[in-house]
Amino acid sequence: MTDVKKRIEELRSILHYHSRKYYLEDAPEISDVEYDKLFYELVKLEEENPEYYDSHSPTVRVGGKPSEKFEKIKHTVPLKSLTDVFSYEELHRFIAKNEEEFGQIDYSVECKIDGLSAALHYENGNLIYGATRGDGTVGENVTANIKTIRSIPLSIDYQGMLEVRGEIYMPKEAFDTLNAEREANEESLFANPRNAAAGSLRQLDSRITATRKLDIFVFNLQACDKSFATHSESFDFMKSQGFRTVPFQTVCHSFDEIVSVIEEIGQKRQSLPYDIDGVVIKADSIAKRNEMGEATSTPKWAVAYKFPPEQKETVLENITIQVGRTGVLTPIAELSPVRIAGSVVSRATLHNIDFITEKDIRIGDVVVVQKAGDIIPEIVESKKDRRDKILVSFAMPEICPSCGETVFRDEEASVRCTNAACPAQLMRNLQHFASKDAMDIAGLGPAVLKLLKDNDIIKNVSDLYRVKPEQVAALERMGEKSAENLVNAIADSKERGLARLLYALGIRQIGITTAESLVKHYADIDDYFSLTAEDLCKIEDIGEITAQSIVEFFSRETTKQIIEDLKALGVKTTAEKEEILDQRFAGLTFVLTGTLPTMSRSEAEALIKKYGGKASSSVSKKTSFVLAGEDAGSKLTKAQSLGVTIIDEEEFLRMIG
């Protein structure tokens, strides 16, 4: 053995030892500086001597070559979720019911770490793969990223098969540091440590994951060719193999003991260096677990007690208005900054005017704030008895703060701007306009639209038809060929017809099916400027709300300007008379679901209409047939429950003849 190889193996052994002392035993023997000096000596030696590469070397912690995508992995044992309880009464019912059915049960009580679950699979002492929870049955192979987490052992003493489940999280300090760096670089901030951990673990470049300082607590032995009588025994075994197990794990023998542990954890919750969102209570005996059984997605032998949201008082300094992508005006509370559930809160949604009125929230009030689900800031109440002067009730604006157009209130208590050219809604409108069921402009996805918008090439949907190839070619990541293809695709969309255009304009309540019904009665877009709600309600499937939405849209001066622009630019604003071959499907309604063998849904719907039938998007008692293909979903299930006739493509083609 060469001196270099000896030194490499010596360094690996030393680093593994000190990692265990630091992460598992919380008893470091050397400083971080000394550890890093040894670590980077090993990195240099391995780079210079690639023939000594080892997939379990401590240097894999720095990440490697980026992946193109994550492979799927089926879990050895499903990673199920837990049933939540939100009070001691609910918890007591769970305990009492179990005792009544299965006798006295000891429970393991432990922290519920607020992170994301992952499975770690070992064979012959080596980490084989790490996978995300995914849907519980199938997860993503994130082994390269898992290996960057320094507290995860790359090898263990046990030489059999072992799979454990853990919760990957980002410590509070690491989260604060990461967001500070992102703010300095003018990057968007992560909402909370859990979101930051999830985004970090799913990086295709494991080198990025390595910089995020993720950590893990292991909380369950999923599978092993060695058996254990209790969960607490398996806990001790996992500790012996070098895993950081979830803290505060205690075996309790009664409901009162469980409550006592929950209270203790709750008191320490805010001072912990990581976020927890509850306490897990699970049967300790493996035999009892087997006896109690499991539901489809949750075990019957465990629950998660969720802490009530932390509440703080602060001052409501102002109420501002945010215009959403769908035109809804949302009042936002601007608060004196206050730290709640691990992060500083300075804003909270006020939902709508009814919410503000019901709680009598006024600018200048002392308000009680909490995080719904420990994530979304919300105002619980205003302290009306703390008002020391007259405060004016809040009223929603009558014009849109983004575009200046008049807004209206709908039946859902939302105040809405319906201006098609509203800047706050532009990106959403553009994406919808170019989408497949609308104008179907190939190559005009969100990224390209953002480039066009950010470079002031488009300010509304009609500007799309003014785009020149040279403008596109000059953009980042766009060449002459791409520019030519895009401009040609935009030009092709001019012939989509009136129904597609009406849908593309994003009129509230107007889907493609409703648009097709409209053009059967009014085949020129100019007709719509003079229609009344009464006229529209005479059309099948057009109700009062939809009719009013159409009238509102076409009453706006901005709508008239956009339509005039589109017409001048050559966009087709009339409808061809629909060819009806015969009326064999007259009075029949079809719903399509799944993938058909030889035709697309749109092709099948066109055939239904040519034979006088109607295609609908939802199943009801009025549905005549459900045309089902492969991977049919909930529509098929509903049809079966309602006794609706189900046909396949072969039967459908026989009906056509």
Residue 122 sits in a domain whose CATH number is: 3.30.470.30
293 and 320 in a single domain? The answer is no
Which pLDDT does position 226 carry in this prediction?
93
Same-domain check for residues 102 and 251: yes
Same domain, 222 and 95: yes
Q: What is the pLDDT of residue 627?
A: 92
Phi then psi for 299, rounded to 5 degrees? Answer: -75, 150
Q: Considering only CA atoms, which of 225, 90, 82 is closest in space to residue 162? A: 225
Note the pLDDT tens digit of each residue in 250-270: 999 999 999 999 999 998 988
Q: Which two tokens stand for residue 414?
A: 């939302």
Q: 112, 213, 288, 306: which is the annotated catalytic residue?
A: 112
CA dist 453 and 566 (Å) reads 18
**Which of 120-134, 405-419, 608-622 bottoms out in mean pLDDT, i.e. has the lowest?**
405-419
pLDDT digits (tens, 9 = 90+) for 117-161: 999 999 999 999 999 998 888 889 999 999 999 999 999 999 999
User: Does the pLDDT value for residue 538 go beyond 80?
Assistant: yes
Read off the CATH number of the domain in which 29 is found.
1.10.287.610
Q: What is the DSSP string of 143-174?
A: HHHHTT-TTS-SB-S--SEEEEEEEEE--HHH
Does 293 map to a domain?
Answer: yes
Q: Which residue has the higher pLDDT, 579 or 521?
A: 521
Residue 325 lies in a domain: yes
300 with 318, same domain: the answer is no
Look at residue 286 in the predicted model and tell me its pLDDT: 96
Instruction: Respond yes or no: is residue 622 known to be catalytic.
Output: no
- Ramachandran category for residue 242: left, alpha or beta (phi over 0 → left; psi -120 to 50 → alpha): left
Cβ-Cβ contacts under 8 Å for 410 (sequence gap 6 or more) = 416, 545
Boundary-marking domain end, from 343, 366, 386: 386
Question: Which among 274, 305, 336 is the end of a domain?
Answer: 305
CATH of the domain at 343: 2.40.50.140
Same domain, yes or no: 154 and 276: yes
Q: Whole domain around residue 376: which residue ranges?
A: 311-386
State the Cα–Cα distance between residues 107 and 618, nearest whole angstrom.
47
Q: What percentage of the chain exceeds 70 in pLDDT?
A: 95
Domain for residue 400, yes or no? no
- If asked whether residues 265 and 285 sit together in one domain, one would say yes
Distance, CA of 273 to CA of 656 (rounded, Å): 68
User: pLDDT tens-digit profile of 438-462?
Assistant: 999 998 988 899 889 889 999 889 9
Q: How far apart are the C-alpha atoms of 196 and 204, rounded to whole Å?
A: 15
35 occurs within a structural domain: yes
Q: Is residue 368 assigned to a domain?
A: yes
Q: Is the pLDDT of residue 188 over 80?
A: no
Do 490 and 600 belong together in one domain? no
What is the tally of structural domains in the chain? 5
Q: At which of 386, 401, 434 does a domain end? A: 386
Pair (454, 536) in one structural domain: yes
| Domain contains 408 | no
Is residue 577 predicted with pLDDT exceeding 90? no
Residue 646: CB partners within 8 Å, gap ≥ 6? 625, 626, 628, 636, 639, 640
Across the beta sheet with 250-252, what order do the strands follow? Answer: 83-85, 302-305, 276-283, 107-113, 250-252
Examine the domain organization and report whether 277 and 328 are in the same domain: no
| Residue 204: per-residue pLDDT | 85
- Looking at residue 61, what is its pLDDT? 77
Query: Are 299 and 318 contained in the same domain?
Result: no
Residue 578 binned pLDDT confidence (cut-offs 50, 70, 90): low
Question: What per-residue confidence (pLDDT) applies to 420?
Answer: 64
Q: Assess whether pLDDT exceeds 90 at residue 643.
A: no
> Which residue has better confidence, 637 or 536?
536
Residue 464 above 70 pLDDT?
yes
**Residue written as token pair 């001066």:** 557
Residues 445 and 529 in one domain: yes
pLDDT of residue 551: 92
Across the chain, mean pLDDT equals: 88
Same domain, 456 and 558: yes
- Tokens representing residue 316 in the block: 């409501």
Is the predicted pLDDT of residue 2 greater than 80, yes or no?
no
Mean pLDDT value of segment 61-84: 83
Find which of 1-5, 36-40, 255-259 is predicted with most confidence, using mean pLDDT. 255-259
Is the Cβ–Cβ distance between 614 and 590 less than 8 Å? yes
- Most confident by average pLDDT, 364-373, 555-564, 576-585: 555-564
The three-class DSSP label of residue 19 is: helix
Q: Is residue 98 part of a domain?
A: yes
Q: Is the pLDDT of residue 595 over 70?
A: yes
- What is the structure's pLDDT at 373? 58
- pTM for this predicted structure: 0.56
| pLDDT exceeds 60 at position 1 | no
pLDDT at 66: 65
Q: Could you tell me if residue 26 is inside a domain?
A: yes
